Structure 1
Amino acid sequence: MSIADLPRVYPLAQLLVFLRHKGMTARHIAFGAGVLFFLWASYHTFFSPQSFSFPGEIYVAPPTTTTPETWRYRAEQVKAAFIHAYHGYELHAWKSDELRPMSGTGQNNFNGWGVTVIDSLDTMYLMGLRDEFDRAVRFVEHSNFTQPASQGLYAPFFETVIRYLGGLLSAYALSRDTILLQRADDLGGLLSPAFGTDSGFPDFGVSTSTGERRGPPIGILAEIASCQLEYTYLAKETGKKRYFDLADNVVKTLSHANLSNVGGMPPTRWSNTLGTPFDTHLSVGAQADSAHEYLLKQYLLTAKTDRKSLEMYIRTTTHILTNLFYLSPTRHFLYVTDTTGNGHGVTRPSHTFEHLSCFLPGLLALGAHTLPLSDLASIGINLNDLAKNLSPESKIDYAKMSKYNLRDVHLWAAEGLAQACYLTYVDQPSGLGPDEIVIYGTPDRSKPNNQVLGGERWFDALEAWKRSGGRGTPPGLTPTAPVVYTEKERVYGPAKSRPLRDYGIRKTGYLLRPETLESFYILHRVTGDSRWREHGWTIFKSIVKQTKTPSGFASIRNVQLSPAIQQDDMPSYFTAETLKYLYLMFTDEDLIPLDKYVFNTEGHPLPIFEWSPQEKSGWNIS
């Protein structure tokens, strides 16, 4: 036993008695106590697992003992935050789109139809805020969704569908208030001319007074392929086949596209004329994220009948897991990036990791929860068959992936990526995650500034782990401790005795985004692991501390500063998604069961339904 172990073995009183029996004087005892205190402090400073970890050291979070009463209290705190934000909007920005939370004024940046009201409807309903909900429904009843053509205004199709149409449909589904369905029908019809391109993909914008379309000939994947949920559910509830046809055409066009040189994954840019891919840039972040999300969710929404969407989801996630996931070189955390190909099987990763990509852990966990990934044959799917028209390189990856339990791989990826998303928050003095980081590689003296980008492809590491017997934790799943740089370290770099963070911040702002919290909510519901709730509470406390203003909550400019510098902006998705996911995470009651609802990309839950025999026959639904 070393002397450093004594204070942990003997109570202090026993130690003093022991020393006195040895003839020690008070001076000796005082000196010895000082030495022991120094050793105790040194141990807990330099060797205790609760201090910071050096690269590769395992950081184990303390077990949670949070009581149900505490979780109810935390849910109420989130509800109070929503009330503060929404009442601030009602007081200072009513009828405007969004609140400016510092100046206490409104701004119109999404058609001027009061997007915060409609985006927040289902959050109010779920939180039991009936007075606010009733006021909002009266507002919706008298809303004018047309725009004077003389003003040259065009509603951005994507944002209007996910925020307005999704908000109306979700609030109707929860409350069954027919006013909301009628207004959703009105809006869906006004937006429908956007589908008038030669391919049937929706154009960027549409005038809701004249039906004129506007947009470039090259469309963005997220904007052309994130309307299926809303239009399919609108068709079901109104009985109008034309809405179903618009959504189904998007699915069919995507499924018929030649994706042989991009691993079966849809790229970010498409021809709105031909309905074909325009580039080989692959991403799960900006310009692409929600389109991948809707592949799985369209299948689930229709009670697992949309086979085309399911097959596209399996192909897309297989390529993501084998080619877009990487391990950082120092702390070995798991991140997802985007790649650009040359059309001949060679791809170049950017090693940029976006906050927007942090929705992906939740999507992968949802797929693992709802699909028979461990037995795809039971639903007639074979990975090798899905790869038959792909490149030789993709066929090899698909064949290797087919040797795994696919459910395990999806959950490993979900857990590892969610840990990385959380790490980007707790690494910052503000406790909030930056909008975009870039992963540094191992220093290379042949490169400028000795710096290269990125780490090892995760699937290669997974293969090596499997060949070694698959013992221990799969790569990328070992939690690591946060590394918070001081102001001096941010400017001059960390001291040699400090661990490297192995990334730089490219976009320093925190825009009140929901993606990380969305994934924590789904992971908690799917796995029952309470650490995701605890992580959510940690982030919520930072949101309140850094972003709250007298009238609402504000985006911040730089997550590396505390107190943070606030921006005069409170996006409607903060009340539609960020606070909703936190509230749902903290409530013990499962208000939105994942086997009965799917969330659109703006956090609006839509109920899973089955087509009637008449609909299947009359609408040609197989």
Structure 2
Amino acid sequence: MLCVRKSYFLPTFLLVSLAYILFSSLPPGAEIPYNDNPTEHGPPPPGPSKGDDLIHYRKQPELHPVDEYIPLPTGAPTPIPHIQHDFPVESWFTRRRRVKKQNAVRNAFKHAWNGYKKHAWLRDELSPLTAEYRESFGGWAATLVDSLDSLIIMGLTDEFEDALQAINQIDFSTTGATQINIFETNIRYLGGFLGAYDLTNGSYPILLKKATEVADLIYGAFDTRNRMPQSRWEWTRSALGLGIQPSRNTILAELGSLNLEFTRMSQLTNDPRYFDAIQRITDRLESAQPRTQVPGLWPMMVDAHDMEFNDPRFTVGGMADSVYEYLPKEHMLLGARTNQYRKMYDAAMNSIKKRLLFRGMTKDGKDIMFPGDIRSTAKDNIEPQAEHLKCFLGGTVGIGAKVFNRSEELSIARKLTDGCIWAYDVMPTGIMPEALYVSPCKNPDDCEWDEQKWHTDILRRFAEYTKGEEAAQSIISSNKLPPGVTQIPDPRYNLRPEAIESVFIMYRITGDKELQDAAWRMFRNIEKMTLTRFAHAAISDVRNPHSRQLDNMESFWLSETLKYFYLIFSEPNVVDLDEYVLNTEAHPLKRPSGST
């Protein structure tokens, strides 16, 4: 018997050893997608960053090199008017109430951050219902990088140090994605590193090192015949030395919203390539601006291959928003050393006021405004659609009014901001939907509530022109339309920041405590509806106080939304708008000089 047992020992040992070797190290992508110990760094980076057989981006000789780089504007900066309100010293009681609200926002951030750290560390995004993860932006830990400056602002030092250690593991030379979205990579990753670097006064060189890795990577997308970037970059072609070309269907925002980050890179590194890249785009946009079908504005889609602007759709919302946002901000970041962005802003703002803005009819006569859309230039009427994405405009107009001495437009900025606050307040959940149509006033200067007009607008919106009062009432009931709202085509809330962004900016400009009160209402309603066991989730229908939650939490929840809620309850010198410019992902970039 003993001999028989010995005869099986060796093969059994070999089989067990082989099984251990085969299964103790799972293939890339097969790792368990979370770690039960929140103090540990969770799963390693996604498989694509580890595979030796994958393509890694290495700069090839340029096929369309630049003969001479456009330099940063030189000379002393021109004084820029003061933006922030001169806040008085607050009382002990006022400070106590403010800090209590600030801490509530900080705790919400910590809850979401801990959920990400425990279940999706070094991944792009946490799935807040299932505690899994998703790779949405190249697989380079988007939430981690996007949140770096939020950690600094909120004084979460230990968490920041952990994140700082982790970014060494991010390999920006490769990705499992076949295309790289240049715009998203720019605002989230490059902006994230630069914001944290500037907030810490350059104390952590690793942040500029990683920023340079990102900037050098996406700079490859500019190697085209006309030096316009291929916005959805076929990066493997460039890595193999093959040619690329810009798309004939390029989203305007993806073409014209690279200014701040690339400018800041040239300022910090003294490398002119980055500024040269975006200045060529700006010059093209400026040249086209008076020649579009709505002079002063650019259409939603651009033929970046031939630089034609023939699309008949115009908006300041999704697909266009940050182009207009960056006009006054780039002016500030350049220290007003050029008037180019002032002129472009003047032309854009004059056209926005004339062609896009309308007053919404409300039951209480509130004087609020919204930017609509132009869907066809054959019609002079605007589409009275409000979007959460458009809510940035109040803050942008407020900043433009200050830095360009257009003080008469401060009231427009406030009315736009109040319009978004109203859209929050009228919903049963206290949260604004992604998109809604509003009944426009016939006369913006004299706009009393008109029930019949509201019903007529609803019937027109639902193509029920010939039907009457009973049909309108049925539509209102079945679609849960608050007074003044004619349709809600997208009732979701995706954890978006644009409304609180403008509320924050207008508070810093005016010092009006009503804006803080509005922010607190918004925050409490959002947290109530979005809180999950692991973090916070988007919701499917803001008309339903028991709305179903959705299993996604984009990185801007931590980078923007909660940051703006925190900042509106911070002391005014925290991210002072006279010292920093916030990119469209809320990353603070240091201005070259203060205000007058």
**TM, length-normalised to structure 1:** 0.72
- Between the aligned partners of 1:237 and 1:205, the Cα distance in structure 2 is 27
Counterpart pick for 2:380 among 310, 322, 347? 347
* Deviating more after overlay: 576-585 vs 168-177: 168-177
* CA distance 1:552–1:185, change in 2 (3 Å): same
Deviation at 1:216, TM superposition (A): 3.1
Aligned position for 1:174: 199
Aligned position for 1:552: 535
* CA distance 1:450–1:92, change in 2 (3 Å): closer
Q: What one-letter code is carried by the residue in structure 2 that aligns with 1:348?
A: N
- Between the aligned partners of 2:493 and 2:399, the Cα distance in structure 1 is 26
Aligned position for 2:359: 327
Q: SS of the residue aligned with 1:335?
A: strand
* CA distance 1:95–1:276, change in 2 (3 Å): same
**CA-to-partner distance for each residue in 1:459-482, whole Å, 9 max, x for gaps?**
xxxxxxxxxxxxxxxxxxxxxxxx
Aligned position for 2:518: 535
Aligned position for 1:491: 478
Deviation at 1:445, TM superposition (A): 12
- Between the aligned partners of 1:278 and 1:138, the Cα distance in structure 2 is 48
- Between the aligned partners of 2:159 and 2:538, the Cα distance in structure 1 is 24
Aligned position for 2:9: none
* CA distance 1:493–1:237, change in 2 (3 Å): closer
Aligned position for 1:242: 273
* CA distance 1:214–1:73, change in 2 (3 Å): farther
**CA-to-partner distance for each residue in 1:122-148, whole Å, 9 max, x for gaps?**
000111111111111111123101226
Query: Is the Cα contact below 8 Å between 1:97 and 1:113 reproduced in 2?
Result: yes
Deviation at 1:277, TM superposition (A): 1.1
- Between the aligned partners of 1:505 and 1:279, the Cα distance in structure 2 is 26
* CA distance 1:445–1:217, change in 2 (3 Å): closer
Q: Does 1:267 align with 2:299?
A: yes
- Between the aligned partners of 2:142 and 2:455, the Cα distance in structure 1 is 52
Q: What one-letter code is carried by the residue in structure 2 that aligns with 1:606?
A: L
Q: What one-letter code is carried by the residue in structure 1 that aligns with 2:499?
A: T
Q: SS of the residue aligned with 1:67?
A: helix
- Between the aligned partners of 2:310 and 2:224, the Cα distance in structure 1 is 16
* CA distance 1:564–1:590, change in 2 (3 Å): farther
Query: Is the Cα contact below 8 Å between 1:221 and 1:267 reproduced in 2?
Result: yes
Aligned position for 1:303: 335
Q: Does 1:83 align with 2:70?
A: no
**CA-to-partner distance for each residue in 1:205-264, whole Å, 9 max, x for gaps?**
225565365763221110000101000100111111111110111111111115344131
Counterpart pick for 1:276 among 308, 322, 335? 308
**CA-to-partner distance for each residue in 1:8-59, whole Å, 9 max, x for gaps?**
xxxxxxxxxxxxxxxxxxxxxxxxxxxxxxxxxxxxxxxxxxxxxxxxxxxx
Q: SS of the residue aligned with 2:302?
A: strand
Identical-pair percentage: 32
Task: Map residues 420-431 of structure 1 onto 2, 5 A cutoff.
Answer: 420-431=419-430
Aligned position for 2:410: 411
- Between the aligned partners of 1:363 and 1:108, the Cα distance in structure 2 is 31
- Between the aligned partners of 1:607 and 1:78, the Cα distance in structure 2 is 25
Q: SS of the residue aligned with 1:70?
A: helix
Aligned position for 1:451: 460
Q: RMSD across aligned C-alpha pairs, in angstroms?
A: 2.7
Deviation at 1:174, TM superposition (A): 1.1
Task: Map residues 217-616 of structure 1 onto 2, 5 A cutoff.
Answer: 217-257=248-288, 259-260=290-291, 261-331=293-363, 333-342=368-377, 347-373=380-406, 407-408=407-408, 410-440=409-439, 450-451=459-460, 490-491=477-478, 500-609=483-592
Deviation at 1:510, TM superposition (A): 0.4
Q: SS of the residue aligned with 1:438?
A: strand
Aligned position for 1:158: 183
Q: What one-letter code is carried by the residue in structure 1 that aligns with 2:303?
A: S
Q: SS of the residue aligned with 1:168?
A: helix
Give 5+ residue unaligned stretches, structure 1: 1-63, 374-406, 454-485, 611-622
Q: What one-letter code is carried by the residue in structure 2 that aligns with 1:317?
A: M
Deviation at 1:424, TM superposition (A): 1.1
Query: Is the Cα contact below 8 Å between 2:224 and 2:245 reproduced in 1?
Result: no
Deviation at 1:592, TM superposition (A): 1.1
Query: Is the Cα contact below 8 Å between 1:340 and 1:347 reproduced in 2?
Result: no
Deviation at 1:329, TM superposition (A): 3.9
Q: SS of the residue aligned with 2:238?
A: coil
Q: SS of the residue aligned with 1:87?
A: helix
- Between the aligned partners of 2:232 and 2:165, the Cα distance in structure 1 is 27
**CA-to-partner distance for each residue in 1:473-527, whole Å, 9 max, x for gaps?**
xxxxxxxxxxxxx999632878xxxx83343211000000000000000000000
Deviation at 1:427, TM superposition (A): 1.0
Q: SS of the residue aligned with 1:200?
A: coil
**TM, length-normalised to structure 2:** 0.75
Q: What one-letter code is carried by the residue in structure 2 that aligns with 1:310?
A: R
Counterpart pick for 1:139 among 161, 166, 171? 166
**CA-to-partner distance for each residue in 1:393-413, whole Å, 9 max, x for gaps?**
xxxxxxxxxxxxxx12x1111
* CA distance 1:274–1:66, change in 2 (3 Å): farther
Aligned position for 2:120: 93
Q: What one-letter code is carried by the residue in structure 2 that aligns with 1:367?
A: G
Q: What one-letter code is carried by the residue in structure 1 that aligns with 2:252?
A: L
- Between the aligned partners of 1:515 and 1:330, the Cα distance in structure 2 is 22
**CA-to-partner distance for each residue in 1:335-359, whole Å, 9 max, x for gaps?**
111113437xx53312111110000
- Between the aligned partners of 1:123 and 1:570, the Cα distance in structure 2 is 16
Deviation at 1:77, TM superposition (A): 0.8
* CA distance 1:68–1:256, change in 2 (3 Å): same
